[in-house]
Structure 1
Amino acid sequence: MRRISLWLLSTVAALVLLFGYRTSTGLTAAPATTVAATPAGEGQTYTGETVRTEEGDVQVVITVADGKITSVSVPVHPTGGQRHDEISARALPQLIEATLAAQGADIDSVSGATYTSGGYKQSLQSAIDAARL
């Protein structure tokens, strides 16, 4: 009887620990990141090519109104793991802000996100080329 009680208690403790295990540090990654300066629906949208990087695919979509980039979104970016989600959540807003300030693809890469930055800039340039800016 004592062995059965110990076995039952051990099994319950193991299940509690297993189901209570958290792999996240509490940080949440932003989904496709967008920064907009114009109301939705204004301007023409241009989609950049999907660029393969060592960390995952990247694709940029820009909205252009009156010859200026008014918003940028990144519907495709490296995801699927905690590391990718953290890098994307940190780097993409910086890249978007830099794009809106520079009004082009001549922007600095984000430290620690070299592959994502390179893919972003390449996709951004193809969207700018499509927009003929």
Structure 2
Amino acid sequence: MNVRATLGGAFAALAVLIIGWQAGTAASHPATATTASGSTGGSGTSGSAGSGTFAGSGSASGSGTSDSTTGSSSAGSGSGLKDGSYTGQSADTRFGAVQVAITVSGGSITDVQAVHLTDRDQRSVSISNRAAPVLRQEAIQAQSAQIQTVSGATYTSEGYITSLQSALDQAR
């Protein structure tokens, strides 16, 4: 019984020491501080006790890996996009054509409009109508065609991205 109490106290002391060390690390090095889940924000380090690093901008989360889709984009302010409106080429998909048009102002994408979305049947129309606002928002935020597909709308997303890239190419 006395041995268990001693071991329990030793483990508690060790836990306090580790927590105190991590808190001290966070206070003295906030850009590289490791959270309990093994991830950091910004361009710091990830992994347990600050081991391992990741490159690029964006943030790591959860497992200590960075999400490459939040990195730098190929089109943005000062990226060489010419102001104006540009309509991308129509992209044929299994469920119909997809075509988008962009508006560029101040070198940035300010609007993306779907000129045509998949229309093979009522279901594809419904899926496209659900996906289009999400894809629009992502394109404006990313300032590029490097956006994620919408779950359940893969064909629409891929056509949208293809047409968006075509419009961006015209704006360069």
TM, length-normalised to structure 1: 0.65
Match for residue 85 of structure 1?
125
Given candidates 40, 43, 51, the residue that maps to 2:91 is 51
Tell me the percent identity: 50
State the alpha-carbon separation in 2 of the partners of residues 80 and 131 from structure 1.
30
What does the per-residue CA deviation read over 1:21-57, in whole Å, with 9 as the maximum and x for residues that have no partner? Answer: xxxxxxxxxxxxxxxxxxxxxx510010001010110
Q: Which amino acid aligns with 2:93?
A: T
SS in 2 for 1:84: helix
Structure 2 stretches lacking a partner, 5+ long = 1-82
Asked if residue 131 in structure 1 is aligned to residue 166 in structure 2, the reply is no
Secondary structure in 2 aligned to 1:52?
strand
Q: For 1:3-18, what aligned pairs fall within 5 Å after superposition? A: none
The offset of 1:78, in angstroms, is 0.9
Please report how far the alpha carbon of residue 85 of structure 1 lies from its aligned counterpart in structure 2 after TM superposition.
1.8
- The one-character-per-residue Cα deviations of 1:82-118 (angstroms, maximum 9, x if unpaired) are 2012101110000000001000000000001111100
- One-letter code aligned to 1:96: R
How far off is 1:80 after superposition?
5.1
**Per-residue CA shift, 1:47-74, capped at 9, x if unaligned?**
1000101011000100001100001101
Pairs aligned (count) = 90
Q: TM-score, normalised by structure 2?
A: 0.51
| Unmatched segments (≥5 aa) in structure 1 | 1-42
The CA RMSD over aligned residues, in Å, is 1.0
Runs of 4+ in 1 over 6 A off after TM superposition: none
In 1, Cα distance between equivalents of 2:157 and 2:125? 14
